[in-house]
Amino acid sequence: METLTLNNGVEMPMAGIGVFMQSSAEAESSVESALRSGVRLVDTANGYMNESATGRGIKKSGVPRDDIFLVTKLWPTVYEKDDAVDATLKRLGTDTIDLLFLHQPTANWRAGYRQIEKAVKAGKVRAIGLSNFPEDMLQEAIDTMDIAPQMVQVEAHPYFPQTELKKKLAETGMGLMAWYPMGHGDKSLIQEPVFTELGRKYGKSNAQIILRWHIQSGNVVIPGSKNPDHIRDNFDIFDFELTDDDMAAIAKVDKGVRYYNATPEIVASYANMELGPNL
Work out the pLDDT band at 185, boundaries 50, 70, 90: confident
Rounded to a whole number of angstroms, the CA Rg of the chain reads 18
pLDDT of 84 reads 97
Tell me the per-residue pLDDT of 2-33, one tens digit each, with 9 for 90 and over: 999 999 999 999 999 999 999 999 999 999 99
> How far apart, in whole angstroms, are the C-alpha atoms of residue 98 and residue 92?
12
- Binding-site residue numbers are 103
Q: Is 242 left (phi over 0), alpha (psi -120 to 50) or beta?
A: beta
Catalytic residue numbers read 48
Does residue 1 have a pLDDT over 90?
no
The average confidence (pLDDT) of the chain is 96
The contacts found for 239-243 with CB under 8 angstroms, 24 or more apart, are: 240/202, 240/204, 240/212, 241/212, 241/216, 242/198, 242/202, 242/209, 242/212, 242/213, 242/216
**Which of 117, 104, 44 lies closest to 75 in space, CA to CA?**
104
**Which of 34, 44, 32 lies closest to 92 in space, CA to CA?**
44
pLDDT of 262 reads 87
Does residue 143 have a pLDDT over 90?
yes
Please give the model's pTM, rounded to 2 decimal places. 0.96
**Which of 234, 215, 212, 216 lies closest to 224 in space, CA to CA?**
234
Please compute the mean of the pLDDT values over residues 132-144 and round it to a whole number.
Answer: 96
Please compute the mean of the pLDDT values over residues 182-211 and round it to a whole number.
Answer: 96
The CATH number of the domain covering residues in 3-272: 3.20.20.100
With beta carbons less than 8 A apart as the criterion, state whether 61 and 36 touch: yes
- Binding-site residue numbers for substrate are 103
Q: Phi and psi of 219, rounded to 5°?
A: -90, 140
Tell me the per-residue pLDDT of 39-49, one tens digit each, with 9 for 90 and over: 999 999 999 99
Please compute the mean of the pLDDT values over residues 96-125 and round it to a whole number.
Answer: 98
